[in-house]
Amino acid sequence: MKGAFFVVDGIGGAGKTTQLAFLKKKLGKRALFTHEPGGAPRAERIRSILKAEQEPQLDPLTDFFLFWAARAEHVGARILPALKKGKVVISDRFDSSTFAMQVRGDRQKSIEKLFWQCREHTLAGCEPDLYIILDAPIAAARKRRHGRSSEDRFDEKNEAYQARVRAGYLEFAKRFSKRAVVIPALLPPQEVQRRMWEEIEKRI
Ligand code: TMP
């Protein structure tokens, strides 16, 4: 098995948690499981700022740069060292979330250029080998999220926002077509697992 970097992403309620649990069982200690925002000590401190319920809410540009700052820490302190040791790294969310949520969801058209620049600088040497995007219709995802204690300020935004985020993930996947796969999250869980594993196995 060789080192490789995978991202599992998608709108809240698309079933990431279930699928990541499956991968943990399947890969065990051979893989490093991590998440964003966070994944490294200083990145976790940034996460607590991003996840805090605060009034007034963070300025959208602050939000955007904090996600990138946390990611730079995560990449340098955790992801690159693991890849260098030949580990398989699986991240729950990555820059696909920033594209979908901050650039498309928040309609920050003007920061799109910044997004690609931050990406080029931050991800040098650790471009994901594959983005696995779990895609679900907004209503179905909302139903699955309903009553979850982990529901946050992003999940609570309205349907139009959620629809833009979903479209943002699909657009991102299309752009990276050779390094992204979209799996319909409403398929039976075993089928989602099968498709996900088929893609991972080819790359490790
Ligand atoms: P979670 O760890 O519970 O999924 O919470 C992270 C929240 O942050 C989630 O609502 C998605 C959001 N997020 C962004 O808006 N942009 C990003 O770049 C990332 C990584 C997460």
Please report the domains of the chain, with CATH numbers, ordered by start residue: 4-201 (3.40.50.300)
Q: How confident is the model at residue 145 (pLDDT cuts 50, 70, 90)?
A: confident
Calpha distance 12→144 (Å, rounded): 9
The phi, psi pair for 94, rounded to 5°, reads -165, -150
Q: In what order do the strands lie in the sheet with 4-10?
A: 31-35, 88-92, 4-10, 130-135, 180-184
Ligand 1: distance of its center to the CA of 138 in Å?
A: 17
CB 97 less than 6 A from any atom of ligand 1: yes
pLDDT band at 144 (very low <50, low <70, confident <90, very high): confident
Q: Residue 36 Cα, ligand 1 centroid: separation in angstroms?
A: 7
Mean pLDDT of 191-203: 96
pLDDT at residue 154, as a whole number: 67
> pLDDT at position 92, please?
98
Q: What is the mean pLDDT of residues 11-32?
A: 93
Region 139-149 average pLDDT: 80
pLDDT digits (tens, 9 = 90+) for 71-98: 999 999 999 999 999 999 999 999 999 9
Cα 25 to averaged position of ligand 1 atoms, centre (Å): 24
pTM comes to 0.95
Q: How far is the CA of 201 from the centre of ligand 1 (A)?
A: 27
Nearest atom in ligand 1 to the alpha carbon of residue 37 is 20
32: β partners: 89
Q: Which of 110, 67, 96 is nearest to 165 (CA)?
A: 96
Closest residue by Cα to residue 170 from 141, 146, 137: 137
Taking residues 35-64, report their average pLDDT.
Answer: 93
Specify the ligand 1 atom closest to the Cα of 153: 10
Closest-lying ligand 1 atom to the alpha carbon of residue 35: 2
| Contact predicate 74/34, CB 8 Å | yes
Residue 1's pLDDT band (cuts 50, 70, 90): low
Mean residue pLDDT of the chain comes to: 93
pLDDT score of 125 more than 90: no
Structure-block tokens of residue 186? 């409403």
Q: Is the pLDDT of residue 165 over 70?
A: yes
Could you tell me where the beta strands, DSSP code E, fall in the chain? 4-10, 31-35, 88-92, 130-135, 180-184
pLDDT-derived band at 153 (thresholds 50, 70, 90) equals low
